[in-house]
Each structure stands twice: as C-alpha cells, then as structure tokens.
Amino acid sequence: MSSPTPDLDTVDLSDRTFWGAPPEQRHAVYDQLRRERPFAFFAEPVIPYIEPGPGYHAVTRYADVEAISCRPALFSSGSGAVSIADMPPDLNEFYGSLISMDDPRHGKIRRIVAKAFTPRVLEDLVGNVQAVADDVVARARRTAEDGDGTIDVVADLAAPIPLRVICDMMGIPDDDRAMVLQQSNVILSGGDPELVQSEEQMVTAFLKAGEELAGLMARLAAERHAHPADDLTTALVSTEVDGERLTRQEIASFFILLLVAGNETTRNAISQGVLALSEHPAERDRWAADPGLTRTAVEEVVRWTSPITWMRRTATQDVELSGQSFPAGSKFLLFYGAANRDPAVFPDPHRFDLARDPNPHVGFGSRGPHFCLGAHLARREIGVAFRAFADQLPDLEVVGPPARLESSFVNGLKRLPARLTRCR
Amino acid sequence: MTRVVVDREVCMSAGVCEMEAPEVFRLDADGVLQVGEPTDLTAVETAVRACPTGALQLVD
C-alpha cells in the first residue's frame, strides 16, 4: 500500500472522523494492527446519556475473527453486537433483533425466520430482482438525460435496488417507502452529522426512527393477519416452529433488522463496488465482457468493500485467544475489513481481483450462528445489479470523490457523483 | 459408504446446502433439513464446505 506507515499510538478507532477518511488510511492501520497489535485496546466513544464502558479490543486477524465467531457460548452477542457501549437490554434486542441475541432464544427465532427466508423461498419471492434492477437503471438514465448528464450512484442506483427488493418482499406500500429509507438511514447513520443534527439528538432520532418503522410493521402485520398475501410479512405472522409464533414485538424487531441490514449493506456493496470498478478499469472491462465471472466477482466486491465494519462479542468467562488471556467481560470488535485483507489467508490481499478463488471472506460474518441470514439475497442483488450496469450503463463514469459516511460501524458512501457520458 | 451428518444443534436452516446440492438437501415445510443419499459427491462436498454454521460433516 502506498499510504505512509501510521503511528499506532495516535490512531483512535473510536474517533468518527477516522472512518470518514479514504479507505487507504484504514487499511494501512489495519495492516499494522494485524502485524503488531492484533488485540489493540481502545477506549469507548462517548455517547450522550450512555455510561462509557470499559473499552474494547480491535480484532484484526482472520484466524482470531474466526475463532471468536464460531464459539458463541464463550463470545456472546447478547449484551450487544451492533454497539460498542452496552445498551439497555430491551433497546438492544429491539434494534439488534437476532444479531444481539444468544442461544437458545437466537436459535429458536432464527429457525422461524429461516423458514420464511430460505434460498428456495427467496427464489420465488425475488424473481423480480432483475425487473427492479432494469427499472432502476432506466430511471437513472432518464434522470441523467433530463438533467445535465450526471447522476448520484448512491441515490440513483445503489439505494433503490435493495430498498425496492426488500419492500416488495415485505409487501410495503409505495407510499411508505420514502419514510422507510429515511428512517433506516438514521438508524445506521452512526451519528453522521449530516443525517443526525447533533450528538444530543442522536439517541432521540434513533428511537423515533425505530418507533416509526415498528408502527408501520404493526399496521402491516395486522393487515396480513386478516388478509394473508404472498409476501414475507404474511410468512412471518403465520410461521410456527414447535407450536410457537413470533410475537408482534419480535416481528417488528426483525422487520427493522431486515430493512436496515437488507438496505444499507447491499447499497454500500453496490456503491463501493462501482467505485472499485472505476478505480480498476481493467477489472471492470473484464467483468463486462464475461458474465461467467459474476460468481467470483460478487464475492470479491463483498470482500473488498466489507460493508459492515465490525460486530461485537463479549467474553462470557476468562478466555484465551492466540495465547493471550482476557478476563470475562472483555469486549471484542471483529474488524471484518481487516480480516478480509489478511495476507495469511488472501494472497496479495490489496489486489482487487474479480476472479479470486477461493475467496473465504468474512464480509457476511465468519462461520457461526450469526452468519448473515440474507447472504444469498445480497449475492443475487449484487450480481444482478452489476450485470445490469455492465449491459445497460456501459457509459457510467465516476466523476468525483465519494462522500463517506462518518460511521465506524457501516462502511458506507453517502454520495458518489457520476456521469452517463452518452447523455451529452 | 459416505453419508452426511447434520449437527441439529448448530444448523440454522440457512438453506445454503439446498442451493448447492438440491438433490440431496431439502428444508422441509418446518424448516428442518432433510438429507438424502449423497449422489453427486462433488456438489455435496461443496455444500458441506459452504455451510455457514459448519453444521454438516461428511463421514465414511
């Protein structure tokens, strides 16, 4: 990497501005942490109204991420997987749903959800991914033609595809979709100043967003209960495992998880995939010429972008990792983007190689009970989206630097200016 | 004779195996994984490797 060697003593992964900087910088830090301080300790970021916790270890080596993920009894998710600070348990469960839950409850709910969310069920439900992608691409072209030839890759291409797919799957009415996008943005903003006006407002904005989404879901669940339809919401309200159904609260939480996790992650994989292709034109041309490359290319886009920066685990007892001891209660952030560039696993890890195979990346999480439930949906969306771009937007050209989300949790872009050069 | 063993405690019914080797793996209406005779060994090996929770094992 060309970035100068960072001074680890001045690096603070809890500082939001670190995450708004160009990715070369974070990868230079990851590389050095992985080599020199594989369990580097950081103080927790300050959040208004939340008691600061004891701090956390940044896990950057692939083998350690794997060792933690596959031992859920030792490394718990129940005290919070998506926040560094311990959140009140009810809030945690509401926003994190399955992500912030341990067995046996996690297993039970995941099986209910899985029943409504198997790849086979999805094949039927999301037969329209192609139609959605084609329509989004056509609209983007019209936007460019009606205007000055420019589009925003995030707003015009990357955001609408997963949003429409997930809303179609859930049966969300058209009128509610703008609200859904806006509120899921707030929940995953990580307090980015552009999306949340002040740090003090962060907690209240977050709560309000959750309330609005839960309200929509309560309304929808009641409707589907009375009038079943051919959608995921109907499956969720009617699915039983061992005679048990999801409660209203569980359905609302899962809905928020799906919306937020299903929208933002895929959106950021797509937008940063477009950016990566524009920075690697030879790879872009190679994929455009060879649709057969899609299987490995999708995996490489996910490895390269690692849309979720970390998930947290908490030691349930005194534990040992790679010969180091940690007391019960230690917090670990699993830095997936760092594991995904670990040279012990990926030859030439900073090379963007669409044919990379094998590619055992942990962009969907590492092996374990919390592996991304929507991985197959995401893979399909990304594959279909990039084929549609290659075939229908061959003149797409990134024309400016991206605006990065200042969030340590979501590796995201807010905007990416581009031009369709055939438009004028 | 090679067969597939499922760790029922670990299986999360993700259905990845069903995508890789649909002749052998099928999630039934209750979301419980049903496993048939491993006919196409290559596909089954891929499915075992792809299982996100590591619930599948090939034994002789």
Q: Is B7 on the interface with A (CB under 8 A)?
A: no
Residue A11 located in a structural domain? no
Neighbours of A242 (CB within 10 A): 8
Q: For residues A385-419, b (16+ Cβ closer than 10 Å) or e, as one string?
A: bbbbbbeebeebebeeebbbbbbbbbbbbbbbbbb
Assigned CATH topology for domain B3-59: Alpha-Beta Plaits (3.30.70)
Tell me which chain A residues have a C-beta less than 8 angstroms from the C-beta of B30: 115, 241
Rg of chain A over Cα atoms, rounded to whole angstroms, equals 21
Backbone φ, ψ for residue A71 (5° rounding): -125, 70
How far is it, in rounded angstroms, from Cα B54 to Cα A369? 9
Residue A83 has pLDDT above 60, yes or no: yes
Give, in degrees to the nearest 5, the angle at Cα A306 between A301 and A307: 105
Give a yes or no: residue A7 inside a domain.
no
Most confident residue range from A263-272, A324-333, B35-44, B47-56:
A324-333
Judged against a pLDDT cut of 80, whether residue A126 lies above it is answered with no
Residue A417: alpha-carbon gap to chain centroid = 21
User: Taking an 8 Å Cβ-Cβ cutoff, which residues of chain A contact chain B?
Assistant: 70, 107, 110-112, 114-115, 118-120, 241, 364-365, 367-369, 371-373, 375-376
With a cut of 70, say whether residue A291 has pLDDT above it. Answer: yes
Give whichever of A19-28, A39-48, A328-337 has the largest mean pLDDT: A328-337
Q: What pLDDT is recorded for position A187?
A: 77
Query: In Å, how far is B12's CA from the nearest CA of chain A?
Result: 6
Name the more confident of A57 and A190: A57
Cβ atoms of B14 and A371 within 8 Å: the answer is yes
Give the pLDDT band of residue A189 (cuts 50, 70, 90): low
Boundaries of domain holding A153: 16-420
User: What six digits make up the tokens of B37?
Assistant: 């005779």
A1 in a domain, yes or no?
A: no
Has residue A132 been placed in a domain?
A: yes
Give the model's confidence band at A96: pLDDT under 50 very low, under 70 low, under 90 confident, else very high.
Answer: low
Provide mean pLDDT across the span A64-89.
Answer: 90
- What CATH number does residue A22 fall under? 1.10.630.10
Confidence of residue B52 (pLDDT cuts 50, 70, 90): confident
Could you give the CA distance from residue B39 to residue B37 in angstroms, rounded to a whole number?
Answer: 6
Q: Does B36 touch chain A (CB under 8 A)?
A: no
The pLDDT score that the predictor gives to residue A1 is: 46
Q: Do B54 and A70 touch (CB under 8 A)?
A: yes
pLDDT of A148 strictly over 70: yes
Domain boundaries, chain B: 3-59
* Residue range A238-254: mean pLDDT, rounded: 80
Task: Give CA–CA dist B60/A129, Å, rounded.
Answer: 41
Which amino acid is located at A400 in the chain?
Answer: G
pLDDT score at A150: 96
CA dist list (Å): A72 to A90, A112, A276, B14, B55:
20, 20, 34, 17, 14
Closest-approach residue (CA) in chain A for B13 = A114
- Burial of A173 (C-beta count, 10 Å sphere; 0-12/13-18/19+): exposed
Average pLDDT of every residue of chain A: 89
Q: pLDDT-derived band of residue A169, with 50, 70 and 90 as boundaries?
A: confident
Task: Please give the Cα distance from A48 to A217 (Å, whole number).
Answer: 29
HSE of A154, CA atoms in CB hemisphere, 13 A:
18
Tally of structural domains, chain A: 1
Q: What is the mean pLDDT of residues A142-162?
A: 95
d(CA A7, CA A95) in angstroms, rounded, equals 36
**Residue range A371-423, pLDDT digits in tens:** 988 888 899 899 999 999 999 999 999 999 999 988 889 999 999 999 998 87
Chain B residues in contact with A109 by the CB 8 A cut-off are: none
